[in-house]
Amino acid sequence: MQATQVRAIRGFALGLLALTSGWLGGGFTASAETVPPIAVTASPAELLAWDAVLKELTPGAGQATADFSFAVTNISSSQVVIDGVRTSCGCTVAKLPSQPWLLAPHDGGQIHVTVNLAGKSGTIYKTITVLSTNAPKVLTVKVNLPENPVMVRARNAQMAAADRQAVFKNDCAKCHAEPAKDKTGKDLYVAVCAICHEEQSRNPVVPDLHRLNKPTDYAYWKEWITNGKANSMMPAFAKQQGGPLTDEQIDSLAQVLVKALPPGVQAVPRAKPVPPEPPIPILNKRDPGQLK
């Protein structure tokens, strides 16, 4: 019995030694299924070549549309099908020679794009997405138009109605915030208040400070300047609320308005024609130095 046990132990030891030797000697290798191969996906080859993906135009005065053409060539060895085009808005129309448009190998043609300029001003961008056998391709047109003051004012009014603090952000800050730097009193009024309240073509919802139908005093002006008015175009000018003015600037502005606009000014009835009133010196932005 003891001899049998000894033989068994010796056999187990020899088998373990052989297994260990094979592992250390590199006799065992992982099967192909142990580490799966990494799939490599190649991006689809470009089948269409375009003369440009962005085109720019500055229309002449009175031009009703901006017209563009994009040339395309099938550079592949097989037929490419352009199924259609999709534009970014209804004022932009893109026309294919046919729909669907079948382009034989090395064949080409043009896509014509027309942008309706009615009611537009400034720089505008429109996109055209081409749907084809290849991946979708986005083309862009840029139109440079002169700024229309009436349209700019209307656009700014829409922005202010949505966010009354918008006048202190982005490009608007150049006219409504930056000029306030280091100014007080009458100079501050001319810099950031007169631009809205003293303009002859001001928006109808912007009040004429010369014809207010309510009593005013220092507290009245300071409240309006500091906090503005919710649900209106009047922004809050205080720095704490995202405006450009410090407490000292607001104080100086309220003080000068108390002197320039007597309290309790009555509104002039619109139905009765009245002769124009001479401007109050402090509010005449053409000569802000009249009041000492």
Query: Would 22 be classed as within a structural domain?
Result: no
Tell me the CATH number at 178: 1.10.760.10
Please give the Cα distance from 113 to 208 (Å, whole number).
46
Query: Would 10 be classed as within a structural domain?
Result: no
Structural domains counted in the chain: 2
Asked whether residue 184 falls in the same domain as residue 278, the answer is yes
Q: Given 80, 112, 144, which residue is the final one in a domain?
A: 144
Q: Given 113, 144, 175, which residue is the final one in a domain?
A: 144
Note the pLDDT of residue 33. 36
Note the pLDDT of residue 28. 38
Note the pLDDT of residue 16. 46
Would you state the structure tokens that stand for residue 174, as one six-digit string? 């150049």
Query: Would 137 be classed as within a structural domain?
Result: yes
Note the pLDDT of residue 125. 95
Answer yes or no: are the C-beta atoms of 88 and 116 closer than 8 Å: no
122-130: long-range contacts at Cβ-Cβ below 8 A with a sequence spacing of 24 or more?
Answer: 122/147, 122/152, 126/87, 126/88, 126/89, 126/91, 126/92, 127/87, 127/88, 128/70, 128/85, 128/86, 128/87, 128/88, 128/92, 128/94, 129/85, 129/86, 129/87, 130/72, 130/82, 130/85
Query: Would 270 be classed as within a structural domain?
Result: yes
Note the pLDDT of residue 228. 87
Q: Which residues are within 8 A (CB) of 290 and not within 5 positions of it... i.e. 6 or more apart? A: 281, 282, 284
Output the tens digit of pLDDT for each of the chain's 292 residues. 444 444 544 555 445 444 444 444 444 333 333 334 433 333 456 899 999 999 999 998 889 999 999 999 999 999 999 999 999 999 999 999 999 999 999 999 999 999 999 988 889 999 999 999 888 999 999 999 987 776 666 666 666 666 777 778 887 778 888 888 998 988 988 888 887 887 776 667 778 787 777 888 999 899 989 998 887 778 889 999 888 999 999 999 999 888 887 765 444 444 455 565 555 555 554 454 544 4
Angle among Cα 153, 158, 164 to the nearest 5 degrees reads 105
Range of the domain at 196: 164-283
Asked whether residue 256 falls in the same domain as residue 169, the answer is yes
Note the pLDDT of residue 86. 96
Note the pLDDT of residue 27. 44
Note the pLDDT of residue 275. 60
Tell me the CATH number at 107: 2.60.40.10
Query: Would 252 be classed as within a structural domain?
Result: yes
| Cβ neighbours of 108 (radius 10 Å) | 15
Please give the Cα distance from 170 to 149 (Å, whole number).
18
